[in-house]
Structure 1
Amino acid sequence: MSDSLRNKVVVVTGASSGIGHSIALESAGRGATVILIARNKEKLEKVAAEAHELSGAPTYSFVTDMSESEQIDATFKDIVKVTKHVDYLVNCAGFGKFENFVEMDRREVTAMFQANVLGLMYFTRLIGRLMMDQKTGQIINFGSMAGKVPTVKSAAYSASKAAVIQFSNVLRLELKPFGVKVMTVNPGPVYTNFFNIADKSGEYVKNVERYILDPDDVAWQVVHFFGSNKRELNIPLSLAALAKLYNLFPSIGDKLSLKFASRK
């Protein structure tokens, strides 16, 4: 492990499991002070202990539901009490559910947008202001290949991730004059607890097994681009190519999506 992030502060939402957990530990392994945010206190404390052991630097954890604006406000106030600056914000928190849209409970759709989009936007607004004052910083928002390539049974989830992608694109332009960078990460399927909710039958995971990414590999790539001017990280390459093809030839893209990417 290097010390490339020594004296840097990395804030990670959704840090108790999955990609957020991996990014927290990858950052800590490079010497960063990590601030961890998630809903599960027990898991969060465990990750915080692992991170501190790796970095030897201070580690902070705040139990927060990212769909609740009042909790986000309180957590931000706690963050500025323990640090005067934030170098990197990585927004990983969110969830999805694979179901035909006309059959979905509207409350589940609302909850998905609260966590995946509105909570992310609100927290980013607070941290973004801090970074504007610093005249430096980087915001990394997790979209998804689902926000670029349509697949069946993911209308609500895909819409939430498309919103994150476009929000990030505009935010990048608005924050550029202040020296703050914005990158979007759009992974394909990643082997995490996400599928415990999204794909309870296990059929989708089984059908796309050869495309599934390892969260530690994703984390390494994300942290590798800390401080860079990269706009988007689209992985794996096969799905990134499909996303480009879809933009150029949407009719062909629909056919390929139905054949290869809609096996839910």
Structure 2
Amino acid sequence: MSVLQDKIVVITGASSGIGALCARLLSEKGAIPILTARSQERLEQVSAGISGRHELIPLDVTRQKQIEAVATRVLEQYGRVDILLNNAGYGKFEYFHETNLTEFERMMDVNYMGAVRCIKAFLPQMTERRSGQIVNVASMAGKIGTAKSTSYTATKHALLGFSNALRQELRGSGVTVTTINPGPIDTPFFDLADPSGGYVRNVGWFMLKPEKVAQHIVRAIELRREEVNLPRWVSPFLKLYQLAPRLTDRLGHGIINKK
């Protein structure tokens, strides 16, 4: 029997891309995914491809009262949430001087505070039961800053820093905090982030297949891993960047700045 059998998994940003694929894989492994996103219509489209037991709940992660209402509904219906998969997020690739403050605030509200709000709502019952897992989909951008992504990079740095600190607070509690740090993924994310298509053309050889990323996420849940960097071969470069950021910036400027 799968370790995910009958596990209740709340997924944000589940109406497309990685969230939708993870929902399908989790269902195939016997879990009960609760798909949330702003669009009921798009959730229903994803639902058509999931044969196992699941549920759809419209949710805007910037709305505190909505999150609290969803948490209450799910906990009353199922009695628990075993896994919270924070996947909701977006990005726009613009130079700092072109990005207005409203965009900075909005992106932080969704990508970072959205996860914080959801964790606030679902973590107490996990710690009470001394069992659970929080999975935050961050980004390689949270480890390495690049040009034309000041707003997006800031949100992912915030999410990673928060996750690392929360992991330390929850040591011994029975709750695992997992961070997923992928590079560029071939999903609709870039329809908004890169409408010109220039970045996608520049890194096409490097882009991850969404199905593979979803498989890695589900595997990380099964094994309760604390961190996954994708693709795996970039891990040594990330370590080098942490050890010598200024040197790596100078040497790798032409390689990592493809936007």
Q: Report the TM range for the smaller structure's normalisation.
A: over 0.9
CA distance in 2, matches of 1:97, 1:257: 22
How far the C-alpha of 1:235 sits from its partner, in A, is: 0.6
CA distance in 2, matches of 1:255, 1:99: 21
How far the C-alpha of 1:196 sits from its partner, in A, is: 0.7
State the partner residue of 2:179: 184
Q: If the length of structure 2 is used for normalisation, what is the TM-score?
A: 0.96
- Give the residue type in structure 1 aligned to 2:21: S
CA distance in 1, matches of 2:207, 2:150: 20
- Give the residue type in structure 1 aligned to 2:91: G
CA distance in 2, matches of 1:135, 1:46: 35
The answer to whether the 8 A contact 1:11-1:88 is kept is yes
State the partner residue of 1:28: 27
CA distance in 1, matches of 2:144, 2:251: 10
3-state DSSP class of the match of 2:221?
coil
State the partner residue of 1:122: 117
The answer to whether the 8 A contact 2:61-2:117 is kept is no
1:212–1:203: structure 2 CA closer, same or farther, 3 Å change rule? same
State the partner residue of 1:211: 206
State the partner residue of 1:261: 256
CA distance in 2, matches of 1:254, 1:211: 19
1:160–1:257: structure 2 CA closer, same or farther, 3 Å change rule? farther
2:155 maps to 1:156: no
List per-residue Cα deviations over 1:214-244 (Å, max 9, x = no partner): 1110111111121434221001134333221
Which deviates further from its counterpart, 181-190 or 40-49?
A: 40-49
How far the C-alpha of 1:11 sits from its partner, in A, is: 1.1
3-state DSSP class of the match of 1:177?
coil
CA distance in 1, matches of 2:9, 2:47: 13
1:17–1:112: structure 2 CA closer, same or farther, 3 Å change rule? same
The answer to whether the 8 A contact 2:167-2:177 is kept is yes
State the partner residue of 1:17: 16
State the partner residue of 1:199: 194
The answer to whether the 8 A contact 1:152-1:258 is kept is no
CA distance in 2, matches of 1:188, 1:222: 14
Segments ≥4 residues shifted beyond 4 Å: none
The answer to whether the 8 A contact 1:151-1:257 is kept is no
Q: Which runs of 5+ in 2 are unaligned?
A: none
2:96 maps to 1:101: yes
How far the C-alpha of 1:170 sits from its partner, in A, is: 1.0
List per-residue Cα deviations over 1:25-66 (Å, max 9, x = no partner): 110111111101101111112223422x1x2x3x11111111
The RMSD of aligned alpha carbons is 1.4
- Give the residue type in structure 2 aligned to 1:196: D
How far the C-alpha of 1:146 sits from its partner, in A, is: 0.5
List per-residue Cα deviations over 1:123-175 (Å, max 9, x = no partner): 11111111111110111001100010111001111010011001111111112
User: In the TM superposition, what are the counterparts of 1:44-59 in structure 2 within 5 Å?
Assistant: 44-51=43-50, 53=51, 55=52, 57=53, 59=54
3-state DSSP class of the match of 1:90?
strand
How far the C-alpha of 1:3 sits from its partner, in A, is: 4.2
The answer to whether the 8 A contact 2:139-2:183 is kept is yes
The answer to whether the 8 A contact 1:85-1:130 is kept is yes
2:222 maps to 1:223: no
